[in-house]
Amino acid sequence: MVTPHISAAPGDFAPDVLMPGDPRRARRIAETFLQDARLVTEVRGIEGWTGTYRGRPLSVLASGMGMPSVTIYATELFRFYGVRSIVRVGTAGGIPQAVGLRDVVVATAAHTDSAMSGRRIEGVHLSHAASFDLAKAAVDAAAGAAGTAVHVGPVFTSDHFYLARPGLFDQLEAHGTLAVEMEAAGLYATAAAEGGRALAVLTVSDHIRLAQALTPAEREADFERAVTIAATTLETSS
C-alpha cells in the first residue's frame, strides 16, 4: 500500500527500522551499515532503504524534524507496512554536566510540553515510555561498545528549538532528565497507539550547560556508535 508519505510497496520494509531525522543520514546508514541496501521510498526527499544487517533484514527511514513529522512516518510504518519495531537514532543536547559530548543516551522515557499527546485521550497526560525489551537490549549492547559512555533515563522532547525558557533546564535536571531533543515522545506515543515497539538511542551533540557542540564532521563520526548500538538492539531483541 502506498501512503501519502511513503511510496514503498508491501513487503519493502523489514519488521525492524532505524529512524534518523536527517534523510542524508538515512542514506549514510544504508551505505555504511546495511548490506545489499536498496532505496524503497523517497517521497518529498525522505529516503527509506532496506537491506540486511548481520544477515537479518533491516530498514532505515528518515523521520524529519519534530513530533508531527515522526508521528506521521511511524504511524504509516506500523499501520500499513507491518513494521514491529522502530529505534530512533538521533542527536540530543545534554543537560547535566555528567552527560558529556559524544555520550550515548538510551531514553527510557520522554517528558514533553507538546499538546500532541494530550489530544489522544481527553483528560489524560500520557506516560511516554520506551519498550522495555528494547531498552534492556540497548543497555546490554552498549556494555559491549568499548569507549562509549552510556546514560540511561528520561529525556525531554520539545516542540521548540530556539525558545528561551529561563529555569526550565534547572527543573528538568532536578527531576533526573538527561537530555533534550524533539522526537522521542511522539515516537513512543505512536508505538503505544499502534501496538509497536519503540526506543530512542541518542548521541549528545551539544551541551545546554557548557555551551559546547560537536562540529558537523564530528557528529557524523560519533553518530556511528549509537547506530551500532541501535542495530544490535534490534538484532538481539527480536
Catalytic residue numbers? 206
**Cell of residue 166, nine digits:** 529561563
The whole-angstrom separation of Cα 102 and Cα 91 is 10
**Cell of residue 32, nine digits:** 555504511
Residue 190: exposed, middle, or buried by beta-carbon count in 10 A (0-12, 13-18, 19+)? buried
**Cell of residue 29, nine digits:** 546508514
**Cell of residue 190, nine digits:** 505512536
Helix (H, G, I), strand (E, B) or coil at 75: helix
Evaluate whether 180 touches 203 at the Cβ level (below 8 Å).
no
CA angle in degrees (0–180, nearest 5) for 75-36-146:
80
- Spatial neighbors of 213 by CB under 8 A, at least 6 apart, are 101, 205, 206, 207
Per DSSP bridges, beta strands 56-61 and 48-53 are: antiparallel
The whole-angstrom separation of Cα 120 and Cα 189 is 9
**Cell of residue 214, nine digits:** 560537536
Residue 151: exposed, middle, or buried by beta-carbon count in 10 A (0-12, 13-18, 19+)? buried
